[in-house]
Amino acid sequence: MRRNTLLLGRIAGVRTFVHWSLGVTLALLTWLLAESTLPNRLPQATTSQTWSAGIFAASAFVLSLLAHELAHSIVAVRMGVRVDRVTLWMLGGMSELRDEPADPRLDLAIAVAGPLTSLAIGISSLTTAFAIEPFAPEIVTVTVAWLGTTNVVLALFNALPGAPLDGGRILRAWLWRRSGDRLHAAATAARSGRNIGAAMILLGMAEALTLGSAGGLWLTLLGWFIVGSANRELPTATSTGEALRFTHRVDSQHRSKE
């Protein structure tokens, strides 16, 4: 993932990268909106209208993904946790932290910042769509409402309780606080993420086979990615502590030399 990325710049002090695969998502989403979602709701709209609205909505959605990721990173930085980078790619965004949060409260604060941001964008877009409905062209209202609904769905989806989803980090923080055992909490959250990912693969395949829908394939791909990430988190759940202790030792050696 670190290869083939382009540095967008430092946003709010966080190095932000874009992977080439984000272009695939942007193109697919624009095409889906312009050729299917918008014409289905507004049969009277012209092709140039649905394509302009599609480009706007898909770009605004990518910006709201970016806001979601930056929210995680900004909260982390504010709380003294170093952030390596934010990367946007085909299946969404990733915030990579250089340090593990030192206590469950920090872990929770960093995790909830993303879904809360998506929820806030979702609710404010839906409110705007409702407010402008009496006087704005119908295609504008429908596009803004789509952006709102999609962000609310994004917030709810990310709140599913399994790592690497945000809900999995929330679960980890909660279990960590209850038991005091971070590694055990992380392993439970990763196992839950693996089950959620497997369920998504099955659901997605069933949807693709019965309805022949592209959404089903997307869900399968997302589920497959979640299972893979959860599996990678399981063994490291026992080794992260050691790796971190090692880094801290290196850091303190550097400091003592200065």
Closest CA to 225 of 52, 35, 21, 84: 21
Rounded Cα–Cα distance for residues 77 and 197 (Å): 30
Residue 252, classified by CB atoms within 10 Å of its CB into exposed (0-12), middle (13-18) or buried (19+), is exposed
Q: How many residues line the site for Zn ion (CB under 5 A)?
A: 2
Binding of Zn ion by 114 (CB under 5 A): yes
Can you tell me which residue has the tokens 């086979």? 209
Binding of Zn ion by 107 (CB under 5 A): no
Binding of Zn ion by 166 (CB under 5 A): yes
Rounded Cα–Cα distance for residues 173 and 224 (Å): 24
Instruction: Give the nearer residue to Zn ion in terms of CB position, either 114 or 193.
Output: 114
Instruction: Give the nearer residue to Zn ion in terms of CB position, either 67 or 129.
Output: 67
**Residue 69 annotated as catalytic:** yes
Q: Judged by CB under 5 A, which stretch of 13-21, 107-115, 124-132, 242-250 contacts Zn ion? A: 107-115
Catalytic pick among 35, 69, 133, 258: 69
Instruction: Give the nearer residue to Zn ion in terms of CB position, either 114 or 197.
Output: 114
Q: Judged by CB under 5 A, which stretch of 142-150, 161-169, 179-187, 220-228 contacts Zn ion? A: 161-169
- Sheet with strand 83-89: strands edge to edge: 5-11, 14-19, 83-89, 92-97
For residue 116, the minimal CB distance to Zn ion (Å) is 10
Binding of Zn ion by 164 (CB under 5 A): no
Q: Measuring CA to CA, how many Å separate 46 from each of 33, 57, 138, 143, 173?
A: 13, 16, 12, 14, 50
Residues with catalytic annotation? 69
